[in-house]
Structure 1
Amino acid sequence: MSEMIQPFAAWCAAALEAVGVGIISLIALLGLVRAGYGLFKRQPSEAVFHALRQRLGRGILLGLEFLIAADIIHTVAVELTFESIGVLAAIVLIRTFLSFTLEVELSGRWPWQNHEERKSQ
């Protein structure tokens, strides 16, 4: 049974990786197009820059979630060894740190804080 699941899991992991990379690339491209359009329409460059940065950050966050899911599927269903679990733990830790720091950078609050907590600080 395991021989049948491994190829499917490997395919799912590869598909999720492609989706993650595609999301990041597509949102980056669309963000650049919208920024170019904003500059062409003579919008303030600071506002265009801020909007582009927000879009890119959100795209990276969403893409990272898909990449983490792909790594988990690959490790658990395809290559389950102590070494691969250690590598997965390091990758998830690094990507989680990146996600948290991007969230703080974009929203000005930690992901677990709600809007009321932020207003009271």
Structure 2
Amino acid sequence: MDAVEPIVRIVEWTGIAIIVAGSFGSLAVFAARALRQGFSERIYEEFRSTLGRSILLGLEFLVAADIVGTVAIEPTLDSLAVLAGIVLIRTFLSFSLEVEIEGRWPWQQQEPRSGGGGAEGD
């Protein structure tokens, strides 16, 4: 079990690094585009979307580290209860971020965009 703890720490630090790098990276892209093209709602929305996606990815790594750490290192009822609370909170955060990014719940179908008449180009 001693070998698992460093792995858990690496996964946790990876999640933190993803959030930090994604935050600064999306901020740098946002600032460069805003300076080059001028501030627009589209650039702001893309910034929020990119920032949200990096936070979501980082949260996934942090949840994975919590799961591995709890199951492999301390499999007690108390630690499982704490893990359930952590996963519940982080899942709520993930769903909230998903709604902010996509503008809909993950299980809802995406509504077709009106006015363009063509195919979407994502």
Q: Verify same fold: TM over 0.5.
A: yes
Q: Following TM superposition, by how much is the alpha carbon of 1:111 offset from its aligned partner in structure 2, in angstroms?
A: 1.6
- Structure 2 segments unaligned to the other structure (5+ residues): 113-122
1:9 to 4, 7, 20: 4
User: Once superposed, which parts of structure 1, at least 4 consecutive aligned residues long, lie more than 2 Å away?
Assistant: 42-48, 112-115
Q: Following TM superposition, by how much is the alpha carbon of 1:49 offset from its aligned partner in structure 2, in angstroms?
A: 1.6
1:100 to 95, 98, 120: 95
* Structure-1-length-normalised TM-score: 0.85
Could you say which residue in structure 2 is the equivalent of 1:91?
86
Q: In 2, Cα distance between the equivalents of 1:95 and 1:40?
A: 34
Could you say which residue in structure 2 is the equivalent of 1:32?
27
Could you say which residue in structure 2 is the equivalent of 1:109?
104
> 1:8-59 CA deviation, whole Å, 9 max, x = no partner?
2111111110110011111111111111101210333322221111111000
Identical aligned residues as a percent: 46
Q: In 1, Cα distance between the equivalents of 2:34 and 2:107?
A: 35
Aligned residues: 112
Comparing both structures, which one devotes a greater share of its residues to helix? 1
- Structure 1 segments unaligned to the other structure (5+ residues): 1-5
RMSD between superposed Cα atoms in Å: 1.3
* Structure-2-length-normalised TM-score: 0.85
